[in-house]
Amino acid sequence: MSERTLRLYDTMTRQVKPLELVEPGHLRFYSCGPTVYSYAHIGNFRTFLTADLIIRTAQALGTRVTYVSNITDVGHLTQDDVADAGGEDKMARALQSKEGEQFNNVWELAEYYEDAFLEDWARLNLKEPQVRPRATQHMREQIVAAEQLIAQGNAYETPTGVYFNVESFPSYGKLSGNTQENLKKASREVVLDDNKRDQSDFALWKKDDKHLMQWYSPFGWGFPGWHLECSVMARMYLGETLDLHAGGEDLIFPHHECEIAQSEALTGKPFSNHWIHTRFLQVNGEKMSKSLGNYYTVRFLLEKGADPLAIRYALISGVYTKPLNFTDQSLSDAMGNIDRYRRSDAAVAAGLEAARPGDDAIGTLLEELYDQALDAMCNDLNTSVALAKALEGTRVILREAETLSLASAESGKVYLDRINDLLGIVRPERVLADLQTESAPKVDEARIGALIQERIDAKKAKNFALADQIRKDLEAEGIELRDTPEGTVWVLKSTL
RNA sequence: GGUGCCGUGCCCAAGUGGCCCAAGGGGACGGUCUGCAAAACCGUUAUUCGGCGGUUCGAAUCCGCCCGGCACCUCCA
């Protein structure tokens, strides 16, 4: 194998360092998944794409990967400490919203959005995790963990729930660079709960017998705290010390900080040897929000006519360690690049078919470019450079597209396969039903065909005025004509 | 108030001490092809890296100050 190692920025130590594996040759990786109370937006997917690229890079290096990514299907509180005062949570709120009216209860709502999420996941060519645990299916383990933490003196029960006592875990804050002292004076608008020993203490279990999702526990009816599920499920499927734990930058504090406290208090061992966090995606230079009208979901973009691979390409075009600005322009740029891969793929297929004699004129170059792309990925997932190198390969192929020898075409195939394994941008891995039915322009293919024939006849008669007029009229309808050596073809111009 | 991050060409975006008079994409411009176009392919497009100082033989890269922008601080990928 190669001597390359995957180097990633580690939030804990604030430096780029090699990913060291507890068990050599085997990466055990946990990536925090979404809460399924609504459609996931492209910012969520940027984070999941970081995880996806890590496993692809690790696999390219010959590493076996056990990848776990959860689904949070329990609604957690929109505000801490208001369980008694009405207990509204994200799921309950979603159920009461306009979109939520179609569901009979929160369980159906969660199931619906989970299905939608998995579909978007597949469309963006994300690899399936080995395990995709759900919070609701690990209730017993979570309750046991809370009991153990109480028994060990790291947690205590109050009339409102079970809380983790941060003072019992002195290094609380180490991931986010906070100290407990700073956190205390920094607290903004925390609702005070007199039952808590320390206002920074966080819930392991919330008592609430009116909650829409509730389970029975030794503490009575209620539901688990948000942070507990990840600690419990990560340990269950990956062991006490993970190699790598990932999520969005907003999870650094409090979510991952709390996971560390719970897990390490419980096991006495480091929870994860490496932490990575993806910076936020902005849309048109602003934070995504529903009120600004820039809350882009995958299906919204697909309905506008975007290619799912182009969405993927646009989302990975910047490095995960910096905020990325997603714009309509960046998406259409990406569509052009995806098209180059598609044409390369077609050219290679045609070259294999034609089986022309000749040397392999491109194999060595393509191999170098692949190596450079892989090097870039190993260097803290430098997707910008990796994509640049990968794209250079399409230029090499397309330059000789018409005349590729069989040997060259074979090299091209190997190259595109490897690039696709590494970056997932050449071909969709799963074929899914077309989503863009509703808003796609309706076209009358027979009519276009007739017009094209009319134009061909006009051209033969040297009546170029009429030929140009037909082309112009169709263009006004969003249909573009291209005269190719194989004849005239038409394409639908993108609405983006 | 606390904790982090960022500012590179017209736009997006790599590069974090010499291989950088700064990758790649878009755009623009020129060429090939074409009846003309479109598409495709080829080429050109930053002596310069928010500003000012400093360290160094050498800085976009390190340090200081200033200006501008962003995120988190118990809902958030």
Distance in angstroms, CA of A260 to C1' of B65? 38
> Do A11 and A105 lie in a common domain?
yes
Q: Which two tokens stand for residue A166?
A: 């941060």
CATH number of the domain residue A182 falls in: 3.40.50.620
Closest nt to residue A181, judged CA to C1'? B2
Identify whether residues A94 and A187 lie together within a single domain: yes
- CA of residue A409 to C1' of nucleotide B75, angstroms: 53
Distance CA A36, CA A34 (A): 6
Question: Which residues of chain A are modeled with pLDDT < 50?
Answer: 1, 78-87, 188-190, 436-439
Residues A118 and A27 in one domain: yes
Q: A220 and A73: one domain?
A: yes
Question: What is the pLDDT at residue A191?
Answer: 52
Q: Which nucleotide is nearest to A32 (CA to C1')?
A: B77
Per residue in A123-180, pLDDT (tens digit) is 999 999 999 999 999 999 999 999 999 999 999 999 989 999 988 998 888 888 777 7
Q: Does one domain contain both A77 and A161?
A: yes
Please report whether residue A51 resides in a domain: yes
A269 and A359 inside one domain = no
User: Which nucleotide's C1' is closest to A77 (Cα)?
Assistant: B75
Protein CA at A309 to nucleotide C1' at B25, angstroms: 16
Reading across the β-sheet that carries A286-287, which strands appear in turn? A286-287, A281-283, A324-326
Task: Please report whether residue A436 resides in a domain.
Answer: no
Distance A311 CA to B60 C1' (A): 30
Distance, Å, A160 CA → B34 C1': 78
Protein residue nearest nucleotide B5, by CA to C1': A322
pLDDT of residue A78: 45
Closest nucleotide to residue A321 (Cα to C1')? B5
Q: What's the confidence (pLDDT) of residue A187?
A: 52
Q: Is residue A437 part of a domain?
A: no
Q: Which nucleotide is nearest to A340 (CA to C1')?
A: B40
| Distance between the alpha carbon (CA) of A237 and the C1' atom of B19, Å | 46
For chain A, the C-alpha Rg in angstroms (whole number) is 27
Question: Is residue A438 in some structural domain?
Answer: no
Q: Is the dihedral of CA A228, A231, A234, A235 positive or negative?
A: negative
Boundaries of domain holding A479: 445-492
Among A278, A309, A324, the domain boundary falls at A278
3-class secondary structure for chain A? CCCCCCEEEECCCCEEEECCCCECCEEEEEECCCECCCCCEHHHHHHHHHHHHHHHHHHHCCCEEEEEECEECCCCECCCCCCCCCCCEHHHHHHHCCHHHHCCCHHHHHHHHHHHHHHHHHHCCCCCCCECCEHHHHHHHHHHHHHHHHHCCCEEECCCEEEECHHHCCCCCCCCCCCHHHHHHHCCCCCCCCCCCCCCCEEEEEECCCCCCCEEECCEEEEECHHHHHHHHHHHHHCCCECEEEEEHHHHHHHHHHHHHHHHHHHCCCCECCEEEECCEEECCEECCCCCCCCCEHHHHHHCCCCHHHHHHHHCCCCCCCCEEECHHHHHHHHHHHHHHHHHHHHHHHHHHHCCCCCCCCHHHHHHHHHHHHHHHHECCCHHHHHHHHHHHHHHHHHCHHHCCHHHHHHHHHHHHHHHHHHCCCCCCCCCCCCCCCCCCCCCHHHHHHHHHHHHHHHHCCCHHHHHHHHHHHHHCCEEEEEECCEEEEEECCCC
Within 7 Å of a protein beta carbon, the nucleotides of strand B are: 1-6, 11-15, 23-27, 34-42, 70-77
Instruction: Judge if A208 and A240 occupy the same domain.
Output: yes
Whether A233 and A376 map to the same domain: the answer is no
- Same domain? For A210 and A242 the reply is yes
- The closest nt to A288, taking CA to C1', is B76
- Select from A249, A278, A307 the last residue of a domain: A278
Q: CA-to-C1' distance for A16 and B57, Å?
A: 29
Same domain, A472 and A336: no
Q: Which nucleotide is the nearest neighbour of A248, by CA and C1'?
A: B77
Which residue, of A393, A423, A453, is where some domain finishes?
A423
Nucleotide of closest approach to A227 (CA, C1')? B74
* CA A316 to C1' B12, whole Å: 12
Whether A433 is in a domain gets the answer no
Distance A385 CA to B15 C1' (A): 9
The backbone torsions φ and ψ at residue A259, rounded to the nearest 5 degrees and listed phi first, read: -60, -45
Q: Do A178 and A101 share a structural domain?
A: yes
| Residue A347, in any domain of the structure | yes
Are A157 and A189 in a shared domain? yes
Length A329 CA → B63 C1' (Å): 38
Question: How much is the pLDDT for A492?
Answer: 75
Q: Would residue A408 count as lying in a domain?
A: yes
The Å distance, CA of A179 to C1' of B14, is 35
Which nucleotide's C1' atom has the smallest distance to the CA of A400? B41
Tell me whether residue A38 is in a domain. yes
Number of domains in chain A: 3
CATH code where residue A382 lies: 1.10.730
